Amino acid sequence: MKFELNAGDVCVSLYECDSRSELEERLRRVDGVVLLDEEQSGSRFVLVEVQRCGGEEVRAWGMDIVEHGPSPQMVVHGEECLRWVAFGSSLWLVDVWEARVVKYNRLDCVFWDIVRMDSGAAAVVHELGVTAYDAAGERLWDVSGSDMLAGFEVEDERILCRFDDGTSAERKLSV
């Protein structure tokens, strides 16, 4: 499987590998690093290659991820080479060009989606609601209810959360 994302002058490709050893071997060839959630044993392995569009130099990093939950998602940060990456119960702020983790956040539950906010911030939608992080990866605010999240909508820079008990909560997507 291959997925490509072009953002500015950086091209990002995602490849799914069959095993951790295949991922590590491919990363060794390009001097990459593996991102993994120490608390969860992985069963899916994704190689991420980053190249300056039109350039020869390639940087790479890999993710060791669990099988349950949504597929990993990557959202462009406000800065050119930074990306928000979410999978399982983890949120990473990654410098894709330097192949290094800038900030790691452990979520209280499994993520559903990432919503890009202004100034490089991101809101992570998860089973219990929404948690927003600033551009440095620090927690800003939470939206939660007394039950599990049933659904959400983003409209006019606001997020509306609907919970299983019939209640709802709304928040402006701002820092």
Domain ranges of the chain: 1-106, 108-175
C-alpha closest to that of 128 among 105, 141, 111, 153: 111
Residues 50-62: what's their mean pLDDT? 59
pLDDT tens digits, 78-96? 776 788 888 778 888 887 7
Q: What is the 3-state secondary structure (H, E, C) of 95-146?
A: ECCCCEEEEEEECCCCEEEEEECHHHCEEEEECCEEEEECCCCCEEEEEECC
Q: What percent of the chain stands above pLDDT 70?
A: 63
* Spatial separation of the C-alpha atoms in residues 155 and 11, rounded to whole Å: 29
Cα separation, 30 vs 162, in Å, equals 44
Please give the CATH number for the structural domain made up of 108-175: 2.40.10.360
> Tens digits of per-residue pLDDT, 155-173?
999 999 999 999 999 999 9
Check pLDDT > 50 for residue 1: no
Residue 11's pLDDT is: 63
Query: Per-residue pLDDT tens for 97-145?
Result: 676 778 888 888 888 888 989 888 999 999 999 999 999 999 999 999 9
At residue 21, what are phi and psi to the nearest 5 degrees? -65, -40
Distance CA 91, CA 80 (A): 18
